[in-house]
Amino acid sequence: MKFVILFAALFAVAFARPQSNPADKNAEIVSQTADIAADGSQYSFGSQTSNGISAQESGTLQQARSADESPAYAVQGEYSYTGPDGVQYAVRYTADATGYHAEGAHIPKAL
């Protein structure tokens, strides 16, 4: 179940980013890396586009804490982009058994 929650959180991150500027439609990937362990226990990827968007992520498979749980990845990553206002935004995040946690100067903090 936590595996499903983790992937739901990752999809939320992908779709929560600001809508792209029409000029971004011509952006190209200028660098891209990906690596996954043969046994699937770890992975990492990164990319950068010609319009300055960058993203990096890595994950390590964590063993289930009980027989009722499935193994799930503990993930950490970051992405950055320039917003329509010309400001560079950066988000760092983790996702694991405790949920999805994002940090960024523009993200409100809980009191």
Describe the strand order of the beta sheet including 42-49 as a list of residue ranges. 29-36, 42-49, 54-62, 72-82, 88-96, 99-103
Asked whether residue 85 carries a pLDDT value surpassing 80, the answer given is yes
- Which tops the pLDDT comparison, 111 or 75? 75
Q: pLDDT digit string (tens) for 12-71?
A: 445 455 555 555 568 899 999 999 999 999 999 999 999 999 999 999 999 877 888 888
In whole angstroms, give the CA distance from residue 17 to residue 100.
15
Given a contact cutoff of 8 angstroms between Cβ atoms, the answer to whether 86 and 18 are in contact is: no
**Confidence bin at 87 (pLDDT 50/70/90):** very high
CA distance 56 to 89: 14
